[in-house]
Amino acid sequence: MTSELEPKTQRSAAIAGARDSIPFAVLFIFVYASYGALCASTGWGFWPTLTATALLYSTPLQLILVQNIDTGLAVIPIVLAMNARFALMSATLSPYFRNISLLKFAPAATLMIPSVFTACFTRFQKNPQQAMAYFLGIGVPLYVTGVLATVVGFQIGSDFGGTDVVDLTAFILALLLVILAGKLWPQTYEVSAFWLGFLTAPVFFVAFENYNIVVTPFLIGGLLVLSHWQRGIGQ
Amino acid sequence: MSASAWIMLLAVLTAFMFRLLPIATSKLRFMRDTQSPFYRFLNYSSQAMLGVLCFELVFGKSSLGQVTAEFGWLQAVSLVLLLIAFLATCKSGKVALPFLTCSLIYVGAASVVL
């Protein structure tokens, strides 16, 4: 009975993922087309531009590399710090993928980005069934959109968008992150962690600058675990 | 191979390893329990990271001084809309309505300001 139901539930999880990918995919068209256009206007070749999206698949880091790759070794610590974010996301989702072998997950690993992580985490809190199918369902359409938009943006070149489109895209992406944090309610600690990150980002920026996105979250995470422990809930 | 190509290769390889290797930690005992302090630490840190990312998307990588110096009408509208969208989602559990409404209001506000 279970084996008969499994493909059906896998399919429905994948469809749910694909459905949830739609608002992000619309944004990705603008984000990656802007990136492609920026690369074209700064003299990057087509293949390095496409390779960065296809294999690196991290907009903030790609933008940093386009603007700073000529600075040489100085950019390496930033590259490592930005990539460390992925370890945090993968580790947080790992309990939901415990039945998937490392070898099986490897081809899909590149799909792990903040948008996919947020949508997966929000869903898995309430429905952890068929986690991998949902992960692929949301991740693959976004990846394909990102790659295609990069190609289109590169071909259009500097005529695409401009700062208005970039600002609008950034706001809407932020809006989606906030809405997905709202979906976590009433998990007060998770929601508090999100808003503490938001509110303390400008405060800690003075101390950590480019490493803010890696260091500040761990400080907040540690603080909240301590608070949880003090209240005796974590015991 | 040029220095730029080496840096790109390093970025691609580390991104892949950082994404893949933590999946193996699901086999560890303390990662199986999503109520364990270590897992909570990862969970809260990842949520805080999304909060930082959200701030940077709206205000850029800025200090408190820079934010207050550059704070204008559009930034105020952005903040209010983010808060409204959050509260509406908490209360209703719905995503589409707060998303569409707040996006449209932002587009309207931006077209007035810019």
Give the closest residue to A77 by CA, choosing from A218, A215, A200, A201. A215
Contact between chains at B45 and A218 (C-beta distance less than 8 A): yes
- The alpha-carbon gap from A36 to the nearest alpha carbon of chain B, in Å, equals 16
User: Measured between alpha carbons, how far is A191 from A178 in angstroms, rounded to an integer?
Assistant: 10
Whether residue B47 and residue A184 make contact (CB cut-off 8 A), yes or no, is: yes
Q: Cα separation of A1 and A3, whole Å?
A: 5
CB of B106 within 8 Å of a chain A CB? The answer is yes
B29 contact A CB<8A:
no
Are the beta carbons of A181 and B99 separated by less than 8 Å? no
Does residue B111 carry a pLDDT above 50? Answer: yes
Residues with Cβ within 8 Å of residue B22, at least 6 apart in sequence: A87, A88, A90, A91, A94
pLDDT per residue over B8-40, tens digit each? 999 999 999 999 988 888 777 777 777 788 888
A96-114 pLDDT tens trace: 998 888 899 999 999 999 8
- Burial class from Cβ neighbours inside 10 Å (0-12, 13-18, 19+) for residue B111 reads exposed
Task: For chain B, give the mean pLDDT.
Answer: 88
Measure CB to CB from residue B40 to each of A83, A220, A228 and give the nearest one.
A228
Report percent pLDDT > 90 for chain A: 43
ipTM comes to: 0.89
Residue A196 confidence (pLDDT): 97
Nearest Cβ partner for A118 among B50, B59, B85:
B50
Q: Is A10 in CB contact (< 8 Å) with chain B? A: no
Residues in contact with A89: Cβ distance below 8 Å, sequence separation at least 6, in sequence order: A112, A113, A114, A117, B19, B46, B49
CB-based contact, B20 to chain A, within 8 Å:
yes
pLDDT band at residue A54, thresholds of 50, 70 and 90?
very high
- Average pLDDT over every residue of A54-78: 82
The first and second tokens of residue A182, run together, are: 């709202």
Q: Is A99 helix (H, G, I), strand (E, B) or coil?
A: coil
What one-character DSSP code corresponds to residue A53? I
